[in-house]
Structures are given as structure tokens and as C-alpha cells.
A and B are shown apart, each in its own frame.
Chain A
Amino acid sequence: MSNDVFTCDYIESYSKQQQEPAWMTDFRLKAFETAETIDMPKPDKTKITRWDFDTFDHVTNNQSAKQIALNDLPEGIKKFIDIEKEQNLLILRDNVREYVHRSEDLAKQGVIVTDLQTAIKEHADLVKQYFMTDAVSVNEHKLTALHGALVNGGAFIYVPKNVIVEEPIQTIFWQDNPAQALFNHVILVAEENSEVTYVENYLASETEAKTVMNVVSEVFAKANAKISYGSVDHFAHGTTSYINRRGLAERDAKIEWALGQMNDGDTISENVTHLLGDQSVCYAKAVSVGRGDQTQNFTANIVNHGKHTDGIILQHGVMKDKATGIFHGIGKIEHGGTKANAEQESRVLMLSKHARGDANPILLIDEDDVTAGHAASVGRVDPVQLYYLMSRGISKREAERLIIHGFLAPVVNEIPIEAVRKQLTDVIEGKVY
């Protein structure tokens, strides 16, 4: 299916088939109208005019939501889950819900863990309030507009006021059909004084089939709420991905991102957090591995609006083969953000002479009384470090392995669920060797 197949009729009938309320159909149609007139995004230092954002199937799975037994999942999916533990867990397979569980405790406290389609019907007011309103907007560029028009899966997580969610909530977005596109939308809301840890996995079978991922996450940390957000993206080589994760933090709120950006295809990934309220805090940590001929463009951006806000960016990337990885770190302090702090560190480790890496630190400061700092580097494995490890008998290959894992550890260690942390380590292992 390509873009010219999409028409207002198609979108209306898709929305109807999903039994969506009229406001959602309207939303889609308006977004579609915008998509037809607006330009593609222009990520700095990467030309995407020849990237294939057109070849994909919008719907391949016509089944309705179900509840399977976790033991019936294929091994490749099961290894991301702690089956014994009865986790708070949502699994979507080709955008259709396969499994959902939340603990009785969470249910009693009014915590919502469900797929987006269900939320649109059962929690319409909440979805309406947060879906592409204050965080990500349809009008940003063609890909956000298309996202609004074609959204076909996702999750809705809502934590009411004063509720502390002790156990993490996990989602698995599983692309099983190789041509299936995920226009996946995650909304995570943590109301005042609440706390939640959320981890998502984007998984695909290894494949060269052409398809597109257009993923948006909107994360809201209300006053004094704390959100820890972990992810592992691992789409296949034939997949062109646009990933947009955005956070809004109100007074005294904290958002911590730990992102494992492991796609094998061309990828634009941006992670933007607005520190709106005074004393709000964001740690944006990300690791990436590039291999083969893929090009990836990563942006980590924290905007300090409030006073005494603290934004810290840490991104580490490893590039091998002929892969290209561009890492933008943007710290922006708006006028009025007195005593704000914007720190960033971007480091790229190159494993081959044909790989390309670029660390691009940017500080934009419109206020006097602030602190800011940046560090950026692009380099190779240090031969003196290798020498030191090898002088203890460790082989060159193992020494390189230790150095690379060590280089990525500051982010990997932040992934909140052990099974996911281990899988991320395995994915890294698989990509690097």
C-alpha cells in the first residue's frame, strides 16, 4: 500500500470498522487534510528525501482483541517477559491486543493499562484530553499529521493522583507480519504526586520487507509526579522509522528516559522534554547501535521553561560497518528559567573506518542566571585501553566487547526491568558482533 491509496473514504471506513466515536473520525480526517498540505520533517544533517515512508500495509490483522496464555507466545517474545511474576503487561501483535494484565491493586486504585483502541471507547474524555493536544501536534510536519490520520495501535496508561505504582508496567508492540506498519501511539499520564515505571519493547521479526513505523509517545508528569520510562526499539532492516517521544513535566515532576535505540533500518528518533514547572527534572539517556548501511538521526532535546529546572542528556552510540549515526543534543533554556541547569554529553564510538558518526551539541540560552555544559566526542576504541585489558590475557575480541558494553552501560543499567535489560544487552551483542 502506498500513500496515494489513502483517501478520506479509506480513513472514514477504517475508523468505522474500528467502531470509533465520531470525534476520533473527525480528528483523523482533519489530520489527513493537514498531511496533504504540509512538508516532511527536515532533520538536521540527514537528507531523508529518498527514504521510503510510503511502502507499508496499514492493516494486516483483522482479528479482534483477545487474551492468550503467555506460555503460548513464541520464545522470541517470551524472553522479554518475566512469566512467573504476573507482570502488569500489555501485548499488541500487529496492533491488535493479544494480552493485557494489571494487578488487582492497580485496578482498585484506578490505574488504567489498556490498548489505545479500547481507551478511545472506554476513556474517551481522557484520551481526547491528551491525544495530540499539548505534547505532540498534528501540525508539526507530514509524519505527525499522517500519524494522527492513520494511528492504528498503541497504549493508554493512566495513574491517578497520589498512586504509587510499585511494579513496572510493560508493553510489547510486536510486528509479526513483515509488511505491517505500526502507527503506534502511547499516552502515559501520571497525575499529581503519583509514580510509575513504564517499559516498552518494539519488536519485529528479522526481515528485509519494506514497511514504515510511525511511533509517537506523549508523556505527562503532573505536579510532583515521577515517571521512569524505558524502551527498546528493534525494528528490522527494511523498516523506515519515525519515532517521537515527548514529555511534559509540571512543577516538581521528574521524567527519566532510558532509551535503547536498536533499529536496523533508517530511523529518525527524537526525544523532547519540556520542563514546564519550577523544579522539574529530566534525565534523558539513550544508547544506539548502528550497523550495515543504515542511517539514523537522533535528537535528545530538553527545554527548561521553569525556574530551578534540571535537564541532563546522555547519549552514547556505537557505529559499525557503513552505518551513519547523527546525534543532536539540544539544551534550551527559555527566558524566565532562572537557576535552570542544562547539561549534555554525546559520545560516539566508531568500530569501522567506513562508519560515520557525528555528535552535535547545541545550547540555546535565553536567560542569564543559569548553568549549562556540554561534552561531545566521536572516536575509536582506545588502543591503550585495549592494551591494558589484553595485558591481563584477555583476547582482543573480548577486550573490545568489554569496552563497548562498558561504553553503553550508563544507559543499559538504567532500564528498569531486568528481563528487558538482559534482552537489550543481547540485542547489543547481536548487533555489535
Chain B
Amino acid sequence: MSGSTLEIKDLHVEIDGKEILKGVNLTIKGGEFHAIMGPNGTGKSTLASAIMGHPKYEVTKGQILMDGEDVLEMEVDERAKAGLFLAMQYPSEISGVTTSDFLRSSINAHREEGDEIPLMKFIKEMDDAMDYLEMDKNMSQRYLNEGFSGGEKKRNEILQLMLLKPAIGILDEIDSGLDIDALKVVSKGINKLRNENFGCLIITHYQRLLNYVKPDYVHVMMQGRVVKSGGPELVERLESEGYEWIKDELGIEDETVGK
């Protein structure tokens, strides 16, 4: 086994004093693609944000370890340097900072001082990745996410994923708001990264994305916990039968959390 390992142990997270995650356990290794599914409001995005260190989320109990190192002790930028990447559901818009300048700063942040990426090499890598994602090259000179359509923002997240090549990628509803063509392009980008060194956690509540990006493991979240795990066959059952059977099986009436 190569690549990195991300371990989440008994994770409890609060936002504004409300407990949203109530003991999540999950391990993702290099080479593995995990999908987390579940209806809205069950804690999926909270898990993603807590792993990356969003300032609004407070971890009250449990551990997150990256190759044994305590992620919760790390600043957000240190988490990124340790190999974590989160493709965000709602990326920030940053006025006055071009996408290109931001990408270059991001790449250089992962390199030693004095070993910055040469400009021409950067431009080539960026152009190649943009071509692959069928993006308009002018986008690199536009301000970061400002005035981007929903689809452009998602492609831009995948562009960053491709350029930064993290050990563990977390994709938070990367499929929401995408039409079928954009979904295919985004999936193509994710699949390009598939190798034994790259672990991926895909958060979605539609199975549509998982038709293009095949997961090895599938987990269902309800009430702030992982309530069911299985292989790719789980996706098919959820597609044909929905979530009700899981609720029945586990005696859950309201699957949401923190309401």
C-alpha cells in the first residue's frame, strides 16, 4: 500500500453550539475512492469542512489523523501541506486576485522558498489542465471565482485539484448544479488523478456522479453518523430504492441533524 492514510475517529463537531457530527469513523487510504451519500442535512458537508478546518466548525471530540499526525493541531494551510485538499461546495470569490496568480501562489506554497515553479512551466501545466477540463483560457485572468457560473466554479475547484495533486482529495458536492456535459468533464478530471497514491472522498447526494467516478467504498450518513457502509452495489440499491429502506432497517424517523 502506498500513498497516505486519513483516519477519522469518533468525530464530534458543533456549529454555533449545535452538534452536527455525532461520532464519525472513517479511514481513507491512498488508491481508494470512497463515496459518502445521504439526504440533505445529515452532516456530510460538515465532515468535509471539519477535516479542512473551516473557522465556523468546532471539533468537540474525536481525532483526525493524516499518516498518524494530528490534523486538528494543524492550521488550515498546514493541513493542505500535509496532503489534504477540499474541493468546496461554495468556493469564495476573491476580488482583485486573478485565478492565475492564486494558482501560482498555491503551487508555490507547496514548494520550498527559492524553488518556486518557473513561470513557463506553470503556464504550461495550467493550460494543459484547463484544456483537459475544457475551460476558457481567459478564466485564468479573471478574478478568482468572481462572476463565475456554478459550473465554472466547480471546474475551477477540479483545476486546483489537478494542479496541486494532493494525497487525499475531498470533493464536497462537486456535482451540484452541473449539467450532464459539465459533469462528464469534471468526472474526467477526477478520474485522471486515480492512482495508488491518491485517495478520494466524494460527498454527494445524487448517484449520478458515481456513474462516472466509480467508488470502491460507499457510506451512508444520517443523523451525523455513518450508518451504513458497503461496496459499489450500495449505490445501485440507493438509486432504485432511495433511502427509506435504510431508515426502516435502523428505525430512523428523521435522518437530519442539528435542526
Binding site for B on A (CB under 8 A): 382-396, 398-399, 402-403, 405-410
Contacts and interface: CB of A to CB of B under 8 A. Distances in A.
A390 B94 contact: no
Interface of B: 52-56, 75-77, 79-81, 85-86, 88, 91-92, 94-97, 101-102, 105-106, 109-110, 143, 160, 164
Given A392-B80, A396-B77, A408 B96 contact: yes
A402 B105 contact: yes
Contact of B102 (A384, A402, A407, A408): A402
Nearest to A384: B92
A407 B81 contact: no
B76 A390 contact: yes
**What 9 pairs between A and B have smallest CB-CB spacing?**
A406-B96, A409-B96, A393-B109, A393-B80, A392-B106, A390-B76, A388-B92, A406-B97, A390-B77
Nearest to B87: A391
A387 B56 CA distance: 10
Nearest to A405: B96
Contacts of B80: 390-393
B137 to A, nearest CB: 20
Contact of B54 (A387, A399, A403, A406): A387
Contacts of B105: 389, 392, 394, 398, 402
A382 B53 CA distance: 15
A391 B76 contact: yes
A403 B106 contact: no
Given A383-B55, A388-B88, A391-B80, A396 B75 contact: yes
Contacts of A410: 95-96
B213 to A, nearest CB: 21
A392 B97 contact: no
Count chain B CB atoms within 10 A of each CB in A387, A398, A399 and give the residue with the most.
A387
Contacts of B75: 390, 396
B110 A393 contact: yes
Given A383-B55, A391-B52, A393-B164, A398 B109 contact: yes
Contacts of B55: 383-384, 386-387
Contacts of A395: 77, 109
Contact of A407 (B76, B86, B96): B96
Query: Which residue, A384, A402, A406, has most C-beta atoms of chain B within 10 A?
Result: A406
A386 B54 CA distance: 10
Given A385-B94, A391-B76, A391-B79, A402 B101 contact: yes
Nearest to A412: B96
A385 B160 contact: no
Nearest to B93: A385
A402 B92 contact: no
Identify which of A385, A388, A395, A410 gathers the most chain B CB atoms within 10 Å of its CB.
Answer: A388
B80 to A, nearest CB: 4
Contacts of A388: 88, 91-92, 94
A408 B95 CA distance: 9
A396 to B, nearest CB: 7
Contacts of A406: 94-97, 143
Contact of B109 (A382, A386, A392, A407): A392
Contact of B164 (A385, A386, A392, A403): A392
Given A391-B53, A396-B77, A402-B97, 6 more contacts: A384-B55, A384-B56, A391-B88, A392-B105, A394-B109, A406-B95
B237 to A, nearest CB: 34
A403 B53 contact: no
A412 B53 CA distance: 33
A385 B90 CA distance: 11
A382 B92 contact: yes
A405 B96 CA distance: 7
B160 A392 contact: yes
B96 A387 contact: no
B65 to A, nearest CB: 19
B97 A393 contact: no
A72 B53 CA distance: 54
A395 B78 CA distance: 8
Given A383-B55, A392-B164, A398-B109, A407 B95 contact: yes
Contacts of B77: 390-391, 393-396, 399
A99 to B, nearest CB: 35
B165 to A, nearest CB: 12
A409 B86 CA distance: 28
Question: Residue among B55, B77, B81, B110 with the most chain A CB within 10 A?
Answer: B77
A369 to B, nearest CB: 31
Contact of A402 (B76, B91, B94, B110): B94
A398 B102 CA distance: 11
Contacts of B85: 391-392
